[in-house]
Amino acid sequence: MKPPSAPSRFVLVGPPGAGKGTQAAWMSSRLGIPTISSSETLRRAVSIDSPLGRTVKSLMSTGELVSDDVMNELIRQRLTEADAAAGFVLDGFPRTVAQAEALDRFAGEPPIVVVALHVPEAEIEQRLASRRVCGRCRTPQSVSSQNSGQRNCAYCGATLEQRDDDDESTIKRRLFVYRNRVGPLLDYYKRRSRLITIDGSAAPHEVSAAVARQIALYGAGQTVTDVRTPRRR
Ligand code: AMP
């Protein structure tokens, strides 16, 4: 199959804390397409007091996955909005093969390209423990040892919050759920020659540069499966 030139529809795959949000924001601003985050889409559903919102809330607070049917429908609806017509970056969806199959059905052509970020688990646990999200603009940020004094958003100044599901036991559960699901999901895209693999443990700007390079290669019709950036930490 000849890949499409200049792909504009992407899925980011990676464990929680791999930097999907950071890379999605970068891809969005560079390509002028929206990021559609599955967890933000779910949080919007939770904010509406309804039986569905209450079910989603309890699943999210334990780190379990929301059902494929609910998730597929929320994302299907979101992709019909005008801003997604020219392309999109999906962050956190699909997470199962059933979701990937549904996405291919309802998103149609051109095919979606998958960017998978690989980060060692020990580093992920460390990153999640220091992760905060801006209460206003939702930009994820780290309060690591270098900037532990920082409690306000570096972008809009609002207060940073820790996500409810970034506590230690929920992090472990979320990583377990991810590990169990990701292999078949990546195989699904690899078999269809739509998988770009990047070493997400490099510094964010290096990861972004690698993503840009591999997307360009993909657009030029080169095989990019399992390409990795050199580790420079
Ligand atoms: P995340 O921030 O992407 O790790 O997502 C937080 C939580 O939202 C997960 O632990 C799940 O409960 C739920 N969630 C997010 N995306 C999905 C998805 N594609 N399918 C099912 N549940 C999801």
- Assign residue 103 the CATH number of its domain: 3.40.50.300
CA-proximal residue: ligand 1, atom 11 (nearest): 65
Q: Is the model's pLDDT at 1 over the cut of 60?
A: no
Domain count within the chain:
1
Q: Nearest CA to 88 among 32, 14, 5?
A: 32
- Residues 193/1, Cβ–Cβ less than 8 Å: yes
pLDDT band at 150 (very low <50, low <70, confident <90, very high): low
Asked, for residue 183, whether it belongs to a domain, the answer is yes
Q: Is the model's pLDDT at 17 over the cut of 70?
A: yes
Asked, for residue 15, whether it belongs to a domain, the answer is yes
| C-alpha pair distances (Å), 18 with each of 83, 105, 140 | 26, 27, 12
Share of the chain above pLDDT 90, in %: 54
pTM listed for this prediction: 0.82
Asked, for residue 141, whether it belongs to a domain, the answer is no
State which residues form the domain around 82. 9-129+167-219
Asked, for residue 159, whether it belongs to a domain, the answer is no
DSSP symbol at 220: T
Q: What is the pLDDT of residue 146?
A: 55
Q: Is 2 a catalytic residue?
A: no
Of 163, 173, 181, 192, which residue is the catalytic one? 163
Asked, for residue 134, whether it belongs to a domain, the answer is no
